Amino acid sequence: MENDQIKQPYFKIDGQAYAIQAKKTKWVIGKLSKTLYTEISILSPDVESDKKKGLLSDFSDDGNISIDFEASKIFKVGVPTGICSYEEDKNPEDYTYFRKNGLEYLLFFYGTIEYKEGWVLIKGDLKNRYGDPSPSFRLEAALEFDPASLDWNDYKFKSLEETEGADPQTIRLLEITNPTFSTLPERIYSFENLEYLIIQRIGNYWDKAKLPFADFGERIAELKNLKQITVNQAVISSLPESFANLLQLDRLSIIDCELNTLPDGFWKMPRLEYVLLGKNKIESLSEDIQMPWLEYLDIENNLLKTLPESLLQQPNLRTIKASFNPLEDLPFAYNSFKGLSLTMEEKKRLLDTTYPGADGGGSIKWDESMYKAENNKLLISGVEKIIKDNDLSDHKEALLSLIKRTVGFKLNSEEDYAEVGNHRFGGKPDLPESLSYPTFFSDYRNQELNYEFIAQINCEKIAALQDYLPRTGTLFFFFKSFQFFGSEDQDIGKVIYVEDNKELASGVRFDFQEEDFYELMDGEYQANKADAFLTVSAPSFYASYVNTYLFEGKAESLKDQHDFTYDLYEPFEKPVLDLHGFDHAMNAYAFTQHESPELQAALTWKGDPQDWVILLLVGSKGNFQWGDAGDLFFVIHKSDLAKGDFSKVFVTMESS
pLDDT at 628 over 80: no
Residue 1: which pLDDT band, with cuts at 50, 70 and 90? very low
- pLDDT score at 322: 98
Which tens digits make up the pLDDT trace of 506-516? 999 999 999 99
pLDDT at 5 over 80: no
Spacing of C-alpha 370 from chain mean position? 34
For residue 621, the one-letter residue type is K
Q: What is the mean pLDDT of the chain?
A: 94
- Rounded-to-integer distance, Cα 322 and Cα 343, Å: 9
- pLDDT score at 582: 96
Decide which of 2.60.120.1310, 3.80.10.10, 1.10.540.10, 3.30.56.10 is the CATH code for 155-350.
3.80.10.10
Question: Exposed (0-12), middle (13-18) or buried (19+): which is 401, by Cβ within 10 Å?
Answer: middle
- pLDDT score at 132: 67
**Over residues 514-526, mean pLDDT:** 93
- pLDDT score at 560: 87
Domain ranges across the chain? 3-152, 155-350, 377-654
pLDDT at 105 over 70: yes
In order, the DSSP letters of 65-127 are EEEEEEE-S--STTS--EEEEEBTTEETTTTEEEEEESB-TTEEEEEEEEEETTEEEEEEEEE
- Rounded-to-integer distance, Cα 179 and Cα 27, Å: 31
Which tens digits make up the pLDDT trace of 244-286? 999 999 999 999 999 998 999 999 999 999 999 999 999 999 9
Return all residues near 339 (Cβ < 8 A) that are at least 6 apart: 317, 318, 319, 320, 488
**Over residues 117-146, mean pLDDT:** 90
- pLDDT score at 6: 64
H or E element in which residue 14 lies: none
pLDDT at 115 over 70: yes
Return all residues near 279 (Cβ < 8 A) that are at least 6 apart: 255, 256, 257, 300, 301, 302
Residue 656: which pLDDT band, with cuts at 50, 70 and 90? low
Which tens digits make up the pLDDT trace of 546-558? 999 999 999 999 9
Percentage of the chain surpassing pLDDT 70?
98
**Over residues 403-410, mean pLDDT:** 97
Q: Please state the φ and ψ torsions of residue 514, each to the nearest 5 degrees.
A: -55, -40
- Rounded-to-integer distance, Cα 595 and Cα 292, Å: 32
Residue 135: which pLDDT band, with cuts at 50, 70 and 90? confident
Return all residues near 509 (Cβ < 8 A) that are at least 6 apart: none
pLDDT at 350 over 50: yes
Q: Which fold has domain 377-654?
A: Hypothetical protein YwqG fold (2.30.320)
Residue 94: which pLDDT band, with cuts at 50, 70 and 90? confident
Please give the DSSP secondary-structure letter assigned to residue 64: E
- pLDDT score at 3: 47
Which tens digits make up the pLDDT trace of 438-477? 999 998 889 999 999 999 999 999 999 999 999 999 999 9
